[in-house]
Amino acid sequence: MEALPTRKLCSTINDCKQTAATNCEGCSQSFCTKHFLEHRHLLSEEMNVIISEHSHLQHTFKQSIECDLHPFVKQIDEWEKESIVKIQQKAEKLRQELFQLISIRNNEILSILQQLSEDLNENRKNENFIEMDLQQWKITLENLKTKLDSSSTTFSFDIHDDLPLVQNISIIFTIENELFEKVFDNIVQIKQYGQVAIHDTSYNYTEIRGKNEYTTGHHKIRLYIEQSADKWTFLGITSKSILLQKQSTSSKSSYGWANNNYFLLNGECQLNRSSPRIEMKTNDIITLIFDCDNHKIFMINERTNTKYELIVNINHCPFPWQFHVNLYEANSCIRILSA
């Protein structure tokens, strides 16, 4: 006689003693009718939770694809506003630098015009002029015409690739406005309306200063060595606060180069041990660049195509800087050229 099948009980964890009526294919458990309905109800509730999470996620995604609702948009907007303010501040600073230098140039031209007017009137009144004087006056007038031409006063943007956008722009000004103005004593005479400095026939140190003051920006001065024995001519900067003196290069404020292959830092004379040699010979053209923003000065000899650099300690040489020359050689002569 065939045995009857064994009865399965409900698999519910609360020890249901009812006979299982069906199996669940999902969890492979057997349930009585009551607990199977409860099991399906729980599955339905879980399904509802999933549907709810899906709906929430779908809504969140739709919001995220709207660019103006992205959480980083606010950060970008703030960065944009801050950058615009910085750019405006930088632009205003550059404008002020430009206006200041244009004002210096205009004052210089006015001063030369006034001096030239006095010379012309006095010499015509006294009939005290010769062909050489006429030629020199013509040269001076041509130089003034060049200065008055706005195209002769140039500037360019100097972009530093290693700095952030807003900080990496400065203006290099090339304005024909530097002149010799002050000397320590009468060993040196300033001629041709401040364009030439000439040492007398003696061998004595003495200081000459330029007219301008340098505090911000980049500035270029081109010089022509009309006469030099290549023994001692110093070119560089000093602080305006330092009084003129005979041995001016001994001041801690002195920074620059001497043509006997020495450079000066804090007034200390140091031998240039690198190649090539520092030279300023007769007929050489020397360019000085003052980078006030980065506290550096440069010297370039156009004949040898060599460039030298010095870092300026502004504690020793505070702003404003002035163009600083010290001559020693008899009959040495330097001329300021168009930049």
**pLDDT of res. 171:** 54
End-to-end CA distance of the chain: 125
Cα–Cα distance, 119 to 129 (Å, whole number):
10
Around Cβ 260, how many Cβ atoms within 10 Å?
18
Q: Note down the domain range covering 114.
A: 88-156
In a domain, 11, yes or no: no
Cα–Cα distance, 338 to 32 (Å, whole number):
107
> Quick one: 133 and 217 in the same domain?
no
> Quick one: 262 and 314 in the same domain?
yes
In a domain, 170, yes or no: no
Q: Which residues pair with 22 in a beta bridge?
A: 31
Domain count, the chain: 3
In a domain, 83, yes or no: no
Contact yes or no for 129/123 (Cβ under 8 A): yes
In a domain, 51, yes or no: yes
Cα–Cα distance, 103 to 68 (Å, whole number):
48
> Quick one: 241 and 114 in the same domain?
no
> Quick one: 151 and 195 in the same domain?
no
> Quick one: 119 and 211 in the same domain?
no
> Quick one: 276 and 206 in the same domain?
yes
> Quick one: 44 and 188 in the same domain?
no
> Quick one: 186 and 135 in the same domain?
no
pLDDT in tens, 99-158: 877 787 788 788 888 888 888 898 898 888 888 788 878 878 887 777 776 554 555 555
Cα distances (angstroms) measured from residue 48 to each of 27, 42, 233: 19, 10, 93
> Quick one: 34 and 111 in the same domain?
no
Cα distances (angstroms) measured from residue 164 to each of 73, 159, 167: 21, 10, 5
In a domain, 69, yes or no: no
Q: What's 218's domain CATH number? A: 2.60.120.920
> Quick one: 296 and 212 in the same domain?
yes
**pLDDT of res. 167:** 55
Around Cβ 330, how many Cβ atoms within 10 Å?
14
Contact yes or no for 166/81 (Cβ under 8 A): no
In a domain, 242, yes or no: yes
> Quick one: 314 and 215 in the same domain?
yes
Instruction: Provide the whole-model pTM.
Output: 0.58
Cα–Cα distance, 142 to 144 (Å, whole number):
5
**pLDDT of res. 139:** 79
- In a 3-state reduction of DSSP, which class is residue 68? helix
Q: Classify residue 85 by burial, with Cβ atoms within 10 Å: 0-12, 13-18, 19+.
A: exposed
> Quick one: 134 and 39 in the same domain?
no
Q: Which among 241, 327, 261, 259 is positioned nearest to 251, based on CA atoms?
A: 241
Q: How many degrees, rounded to 5, is the angle at CA 45 between CA 39 and CA 49?
A: 145
Residues of the chain with pLDDT under 70: 1-5, 66-71, 149-177, 339
Q: How many degrees, rounded to 5, is the angle at CA 154 between CA 137 and CA 308?
A: 95
Cite the DSSP H helix spans in the chain: 33-64, 71-125, 131-148
**pLDDT of res. 135:** 80
